[in-house]
Chain A
Amino acid sequence: MVFTSIPFFLFLLAVLLLYYILPVNLRKYLLIFASLLFYGASGPEYLFLVLFVILFNYFVAAGIDKSPGKKARSVYLYASLAVNIGILVFYKYLSFILGNFALLLGLFQESPEIPLLKLALPLGISYYTFQNIGYIIDVYRGTQKAEKSVVNFSLFVLFFPKLNVGPIERARNLLPQISAEKTFSTVDLVEGSKRILWGFFKKLVVADRIAIYVDAVFVNYQYHGGLTMLLAILLYTLQVYADFSGYTDIALGTARLFGFRLMENFNHPLLSKNVSDFWRRWHISLSSWVNDYLYNPISLKRRYWGNWGIYYALFISFTIIGIWHGATWNYILFGVLQSLALIYETSTRKFRKKISRKIPVQAYNGLSILFTYLFISFALILFKTPTPGQALDILRSLSYPSGELSIDRASMILFLLIGCSILIISDYKSEYKLFSLPDRLGKSWVAQQFAYAFMLIYILIAGVFDGGQFIYFQF
C-alpha cells in the first residue's frame, strides 16, 4: 500500500477513527492488527516471517535480560545476530553471492552448476532487521531493558508508518511511547497532517516530476548530449532526497496522528559542507545506527592503530551501508566510494582548515556545499544504474557533444523549477533561519489555513499522481 495512494488514505482514515473511538487499552491491538493488514496488503506470504522475527527477538532479549553471566548473554547475542543476519542474507543477498560464486567458478570450469535463487525481497526486511539487531545489542549492553510485553514489542517492530521504509527506530525512543497512555490531541492531528501534506508535496510535486525527466534521459543516455546528462545527474540527487525525505515526512506525520513521534531521518542534507556532514544529515536513522553499532565499536577496538583504526572503521561501516542498500556491485562501490571520501576528509582535516582561513567564509561554505553536492550526485549514478559498466557509460556520455539541452516541454521545466525552488528555499530557510513571517501573519490560523489549502491545491495542479513507488522501497 503506497502512502500516496487512495487505498492508503482510506485505510489511514478508518484506523485513525477506530483508534480514537476504542478504549485506550485496545488501541495497541488495533495498531498491531492494522500494521499486519498494511504489511499483508503488500505481500501476505511474508507475514509469518515477520511474526517469527518478532517472537524470536522478544525471547532472545528476555533471555539476555535473565542471564546473569556474560557468556550466556553472549550466546543469546550471537544466536540473535546469526538468525537476524541469516534471514536478511538469505532473502536479500543469497542470489547475489551464488551468482558471483558461479561467475568465479566459471573462470575455472566451463559450466558450473550453482543453483540460482530468485527470491522476492520481503518488504521492509532491511529496516526491521537493523532495528531488531540494534534493540538486542542495547539489551546486551545493558542500555535498554528487555521489553516485558510481547504486545508492546510487536508494535515496536510492526508499527505501520515506519514498517516498510523506516526510520530504523531505536528502542529507547519508541518503546516508552508505546508503553505510555495516549490521549487524543488536536495538536498531534494538526501537526501530523501538516507533515503529511509536506511529504506529499515533496514526493508528488518534486520527486515524481523530476523522475519524468531523469528516467527519460537515463533510459536513452546514448542519445543525449553531455549537458542533458549532467542536468539529469544533478537532478537525480534532488529526486532521491525529495522522494525519501517525502516518504519520511508522511511516515512521521502518520505516526504523529496516533500520538507517536518517530525519529527524524533528514536534516537538510543537500546543504552539507562535506561528506561527513552529509552522512550526519542523510538517512540519520541508518547512519547513526551504523555509528553506534559498527563504527564506534570497531574504532574503539582498533584505537591502538591510531588514524588507521579510524580509516578501517570508516571503510567497514560505509561498505556495510552500501551493502545494506542492495545486493549489487554498484551499492558496494557506492559504500566504498563514501568511505574513501570520508577517509580523505579525516586525513586532510587540518590542511583544509588552514585553507578555509584564507578564503572568505561565505565563499568557502558555498564552494563546500557545491563540491559535496557534486560528489554525492556522481556517486548516486551507481544507485540509478544496474551495473558498474553502465555507470561508467553514463560518465562517458558526459563527454558527448553538449548539443541542445533536451527539454520536452517548457511547462514541464517550469513545474520542475517551481517544485525544486520551494524545496531548496524551505531547506535553506530552516537551516540558516533567514527570514520568518511577521508574528501576526505567522500565528494567524486563517493565514495558516490558506497557506496549507494553497499547498494542497498546488499539489492537485502540479503533482504527478502516477509516479508509483518510493525509491527506498527497493532496499
Chain B
Amino acid sequence: MVNEAIQMVLLNPVCLGLILFGVVIGIIFGAVPGLSSTMAMILFLPMSFGMEPMNGISLLIGLYLGGISGGLISAILLKIPGTASSIATVFDGGPMADKGKAGEALGVGILTSFVGGLISIFALMFISPYLAKVTLAFTAAEYFSIAVFALTIISSLSGNSLINGILAGLFGIALSLVGIAPVDGAIRFAFGQSQLYGGFDSVVILIGLYAVTDIIMTGFGRKNILGTGTKYQYNLKGYGIGVKEYLSHWRNIIQSALVGLGIGILPGIGGSTASLLSYTTAKSTSKYPEKFGTGIIDGVIASETSNNAVIGGSLIPLITMGIPGNVATAVFLGGLTIHGISPGPLVFQKSGQYIYGIFIALLVANVFMIVCERAGLRFFVKMLDIPKYILLPIVMVCCVIGAYCSNFSIFDVWCVAIFGLIGLLFKVLKVPATPMIIGFILGSMTEENMRQALMQTGGEWSIFITRPISLIFLVIAVLSVAMTIRKQVAKRKVKA
C-alpha cells in the first residue's frame, strides 16, 4: 500500500505539480487579509472532483497547508493577520518589523511553521489512533474550561491598563452574543435586523480592527508617512537564525507544537485559538515574560509553530473517526467522500493507499511551503518598501473584498467600516483592541460549551470541577490571573 501511495504522489509529476500549485495559491490566500485557506479550499473543491482521487486530494492539502502558513507574511509585514491563525504573530512579529528585523521574523516564522507542521504530521502518521482516543475524554465541560483559560490571555495582553483590557474583552464577549443563541435558538441583540441573526464574522472584526484602524491611524501620522525611510538591507542568510539559536528555543517549540496538535485534535477549535493559547503558554513559561510584545522571536515561534501544528492535528479525528475538526477539514472531508474514500475506523483496510498518499502529500506540501516562502522572502520584504500611502489603500480594498467574499454579504462590508471606527475609538480611549477580538472569538466557545455541559448535568454546576481535566484548566486559569494581578500590584507599589 505504501508503495502504491509513493507511486501516486512522489513519482507522479502531475500530483507534485498540483501540490506546488496548491501551496502557492494557498500562501497567497493566506497572506491576503480577508482571504483564508478555507476559502481557497472551497473555491478549488469543485475542480478537485474531476481529477484523479490522489491528485484532487493533494491539491486540497497544498491549499490547506499554504493557506495556514501564509498568514505570517502579512502579520509581520503589515501587522494585519492574513489569517486568523496568525493573530498572535502580530504581537511580536509586528514590533520586530518595526525594529528592522522583518527578514528575521519572516525567516524564523517560516522555519518554525515547517517544524510545527512536521511534528504534527509525524503525530498524525504514527500515533493517531492513540491521540484520537484523547478526543473522547473531552466533553463540553472541558471545552468550557479551556476557553476560560484561553480568556485569561486577556489579562496578560492588556498592556498597561488591566481594567481597559478587561473592558475590551468583555465588550468582545458581548459582541459574540449577537445573533442566534446556542442551544435554544433565541435571537439576541439583533434589533430586528435580519442580517444580524448570524452574528458578526470574526474575519470581519479582525479586518476592521486591524486593517482599517491602521489605515486611519496612518492618516493621523500623515506628516510622518515618509518617516521610515531607512531601507534595511536584507541579506538574509538562511532563515535569519542559526541552528543553535533556534534549537535553544526547543521548549517553546515543543510546547507550542503540542498546543497546536491538541487544539487541532479537539473538534470545533481552530487555529486562532491555538495561536493565542500557545502565545500565552510561551509567555507564562518564559524566563522573560515582560519582553513578550516588544518584538522577541519567542512570540513568533510560539504562534507559528502551533498554527501549523493544527493542520496535522485536525486531520487526526478526520481520518481516524471521520469527524472534521474545523471548516477546512470539513471541506477536505467533502473532497475525500466524492472520491469514494470514507474516513473512519476502517479506512486503512478499505482505502489505505490514499491515506498513506495523504501523509506523503502533507510532507511534500510542507517542503514546498518552506521552499516557496523562503524563495519569496526577499520579494515579500520588498513589499515593505512600497510607500505606505499607496500600499495601505490597496490593502484596504483587498480587505473589503475579503470581507465581502466570506459570506457574499454587503452587511459584512459595512461591518468592516463600523469596526474600523470602533477600533479608532479604542485607540483614542487607550483601550487595547486585541482583548476584544480574543473575547469575541472565545466568547461563543465559552458560552456554548457552558450551556451544553449544564444541559448534560441538568443544571449541576459542579461538573466543571468534578471532571479532572476541566478542573486542571480552571485551576491554571485562576493561577494565571492571580499571578498577573500580583505583578500589577507590585508594579504599582514600585511606582508609588
A pairs with B: no
Interface residues of A (CB under 8 A from B): none
Interface residues of B (CB under 8 A from A): none
